[in-house]
């Protein structure tokens, strides 16, 4: 079968399965199977696929058609310009989480050897993005999932940042000393179990539950994180937490024991990252 025909069939199959951006998905998966760039697809529409290639392509298209996210099929996602390995053990890094990295970099400037902890590191994307920018920083990354930590550690090695981040298995900030960190950063699970039906089916069915759901209302993990962050932050240190799209008022109230409570907005103007300072006194 020719490449052009295989693509056309795949687009139809994905459209029939109501997968969004069917052409984009079909092309991305063809690039993955053939190990080529997009220009090749357009330059060689008459290229005959070998039977192995056609078979592999049919398999990955069938996976995508049943809702498996393309990133889990391909095994990669870009974040902060870095290439991260992703498996179903970790959340797929999202562009809005780059706001956490940006805000952390702003705050870390001017601190000679900032000490930072990333809580719920998943693929390691926040901690490793920070490590790639802050050569002198002391960075820790925690996750309750050992499987996620394995991926994060692999990413550290692949990105040549092994040794720059200390990975630990644990429940939030348990086990860290008082007044230890300049920055606590996190993209915690923040979707409520009560709103599971509003979550995209692909997320609900394929991304790890522990990464997505933050308790019955969605703010239970964040509540505990805020309490623990007040303990482990140095006086004057900052907490940065990604939140759900309608949670800012609730989180502002939860953060009332912090100072200078503010939110970074995402590109749609939605408050997305809590920034709060632990008082000095």
Contact positions vs ligand SAM (CB under 6 A): 91, 93, 97, 119-123, 125-126, 142-145, 148, 171-172, 187-189, 210-211, 221
Convert 124-134 to b/e letters by CB count within 10 Å (16 or more is b). Answer: bbbbbbbbbeb
Write down the least CB distance from residue 171 to ligand SAM, Å.
5
CA angle 210, 213, 219 (to 5 degrees): 125
CA distance 115 to 136: 9
Q: Which is nearer to ligand SAM, 218 or 271 (CB)?
A: 218
Closer CB to ligand SAM, 120 or 218, in the complex: 120
CB of 261 to ligand SAM, least distance (A): 21
Q: Tokens standing for 10?
A: 């795949």
Going by C-beta distance under 8 Å and a sequence separation of 6 or more, which residues neighbour residue 185? 100, 104, 116, 117, 118, 119, 126, 130, 240, 241
Give the Cβ contact number of residue 37 at 10 Å.
10
Specify the residue, 6 or 274, whose C-beta has the smaller distance to ligand SAM. 274
Contacts of 128 (CB under 8 A, 6+ apart): 82, 84, 152, 155, 156, 159, 161, 165
CB of 119 to ligand SAM, least distance (A): 6
Residue 263's DSSP bridge partners are 274
In terms of CB distance, is 7 or 127 closer to ligand SAM?
Answer: 127
CB of 216 to ligand SAM, least distance (A): 14
77/248 with CB nearer ligand SAM: 77
Closer CB to ligand SAM, 56 or 87, in the complex: 87
């Amino acid at each position: 079968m020719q490449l052009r025909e295989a693509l056309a069939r795949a687009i139809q199959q994905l459209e029939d399965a109501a997968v969004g951006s069917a052409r984009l998905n079909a092309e991305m998966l063809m690039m993955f199977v053939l190990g080529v760039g997009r220009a090749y697809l357009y330059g060689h529409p008459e290229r005959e696929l070998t039977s192995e290639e056609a078979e592999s392509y049919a398999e990955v298209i069938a996976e995508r058609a049943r809702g498996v996210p393309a990133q889990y099929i391909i095994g990669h996602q870009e974040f902060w310009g870095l290439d991260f390995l992703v498996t179903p053990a970790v959340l797929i890094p999202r562009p809005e989480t780059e706001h956490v990295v940006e805000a952390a970099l702003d705050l870390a400037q001017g601190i000679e050897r900032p000490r930072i902890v990333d809580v719920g590191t998943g693929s390691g994307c926040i901690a490793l993005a920070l490590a790639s920018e802050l050569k002198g920083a002391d960075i820790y990354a925690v996750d309750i999932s050992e499987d996620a930590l394995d991926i994060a550690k692999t990413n550290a090695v692949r990105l040549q940042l092994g040794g720059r981040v200390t990975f630990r298995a644990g429940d939030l900030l348990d086990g860290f000393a008082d007044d230890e960190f300049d920055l606590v950063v996190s993209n915690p699970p923040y979707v409520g179990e009560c709103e599971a039906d509003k979550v995209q089916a692909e997320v609900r069915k394929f991304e790890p539950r522990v990464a997505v759901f933050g308790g019955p209302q969605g703010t239970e993990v964040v509540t505990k994180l805020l309490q623990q962050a007040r303990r482990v932050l140095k006086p004057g240190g900052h907490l940065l937490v990604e939140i759900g799209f309608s949670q800012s008022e609730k989180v502002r109230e939860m953060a009332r024991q912090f100072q200078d409570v503010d939110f970074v907005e995402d590109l749609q103007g939605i408050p997305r990252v809590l920034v709060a300072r632990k008082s000095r006194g």
